[in-house]
Amino acid sequence: MNKKIVRVSLSFASAALLFSAFSLANIPSYSVDASSYTVSSVPTTIDLNDSTESDIRSYYSSLNSLSQNERQGTNLLKNLKPILKNGQKYFSYGSSATKAVWQSYEIIDRDWEKSPASAISGYNASTNIITGYKYGSSNSSVGTNPYIHALYVNRGVDNETKAWGNHQQDQWGINQEHIWPKSCGFDDDSKGVGARGDLMHLWAGNGRVNGINHNNYFYGYVDKNKSYDDAGSYASTLTGNLKGKSKTKGGTYTVFEPQDCDKGDIARACFYMVARYNYLSGSDADGIDAGNPNLEIVNELNWGPGSAYTSSATTKGQMGILQDLLEWNRIDPPDAWEIHRNNLLYKNFTNNRNPFIDYPEWAEFIWGKSEDGSYSSTVTGYANPSNDLINVFNDGDVPPSPDSSTTEVSSSSSTSEAPVTSSDTPTSSEVPPSSQSTPTSESGEQEQSFFEQHKLLIIIGVIVLVVAIVVILSIAGYRIKVSKRGKVKIKKKRK
Ligand SMILES: [Ca+2]
């Protein structure tokens, strides 16, 4: 993938230009009615180029004319909603592979390394655009039958990231995972597509983990001192997806903890859902019934699997645990694949973006800060789309993801490069090379280097010693004689 992470240092001139443009743009009054939830057709012309930095900043530019107070806390959620909602497109979903959501996974959830664009008919390498893409039309013949980057499946393991066609409708293969469970706010399928069919949180995921471990439990760290279920006991390639008691909150509440490389992706999808679906500004033009639920993320474990419900303007659909999700956003920052998925959605499918993939720290401007296991609801800043760093944290102090390796990714627009973590490698295989050295070899190296460093001193010392012996013998009345054959003889001098 030809992308650079969009790390930003705008020059004063370009900042001034942007500011001028933003000043002219008032917040548009979006009026989206229920008809906006009709489904769209999947595109056959697909632009694989990532959005440029200026495109991303422009997308959020209506925030710039707001006061600082309107750009933090729940106000920021309220003000993001019209941006994310404007012109958003939805796709039909269901169990059939002919449904548009299934079809869209061929592109948005594609494993681009194992199934590169160059293998797709109609792909133009010079423009990085596909024309006339043919989606699959049946379970046994699914378009280009690509490998899929599925949630919960350990990366880099071939036999579990099988080609798409091998996983159709298989409960223990890949299925459609609602990262924000339908039963936590928008359970009634009869109410149309809306949140239920929003590709920002509707990902391809392993069916076993989806159905058994995640179910509709809150997300959170699992207490490993208590009994828990690790999906790895079912298949080794699912290791690290846990269901058990909450470590953070204690008590007997059950939570789901995904593998490390999925933690941030899931957190940011949940953050998006609240920014897109809330009633913070009061009544909404398109209404709850049109699939526009009222969602919030909480720290309290007051909801879990049980009788599902549909949220209303006064009853909120909830997800948690907030402080764990904030921590996951920090330890697993957006990688190249996640960034690319966001761009593919924006340019080809949903026509909207996940702001927390673009600006991960905005989550902390809304809900507060979570760092090193401690959590504070104190908001540390406010959104500033024209200057905030994109895809990396402002303080540059992102803890490395324990399961990831550092990779360079690039974007067509960036002015500088920054390392980001890629989660495409399994945890167990990464051992620092330094741990391979042994005490024996270190000791040998030390002895050799001592001789090398003191060679001159040793030679001088030997010469001085020989001279001293000759002088002492001479004083004592001895004479040293070396024969032609090289023998040394010491004789007493005659007086
Ligand atoms: Ca990740």
Q: Tell me which of 4-13, 31-40, 206-215 is least confident.
A: 4-13
For residue 227, how far is its CA from the centre of ligand 1 (angstroms)? 26
pTM: 0.73
Q: How far is the CA of 336 from the centre of ligand 1 (A)?
A: 9
Give the type of residue at 373: G
129 versus 477: which is more confidently predicted? Answer: 129
pLDDT tens digits along 83-122: 999 999 999 887 676 788 888 999 999 999 889 999 999 9
Pick the closest to residue 245 from 260, 228, 233 (CA basis): 228
For residues 422 and 161, what is the distance between their CA atoms, to the nearest angstrom?
Answer: 17
**From residue 371, how far is each of 300, 325, 330, 376, 381 by CA, in Å?**
19, 11, 8, 8, 15
Kindly report, residue by residue over 331-359, the tens digit of the pLDDT: 999 999 999 999 999 999 999 999 999 99
Q: Of 111-115, 292-296, 415-419, which range is least confident?
A: 415-419
- Say how many Å lie between the CA of residue 374 and the centre of ligand 1: 21
Q: Flag whether pLDDT at 168 surpasses 70.
A: no
* Inter-residue contact 359 to 30 (CB < 8 Å): no
Q: What distance in angstroms lies between residue 221's CA and the mean position of ligand 1's atoms?
A: 16
CA–centroid distance, 258 to ligand 1, in Å, is: 11
Judge contact between 154 and 259, C-beta under 8 A.
yes
What is the rounded distance in angstroms from the CA atom of residue 125 to the CA atom of residue 26? 39
Please give the sequence-ordered ranges of beta strands (E in DSSP) within 24-171, or none if there are none. Answer: 46-47, 123-124, 129-130
Three-state DSSP at 144 gives coil
- Report the separation in Å between the CA atom of 175 and the middle of ligand 1, taken as the mean of its atom positions: 19
**Residue 129 Cα to ligand 1 middle (Å):** 26
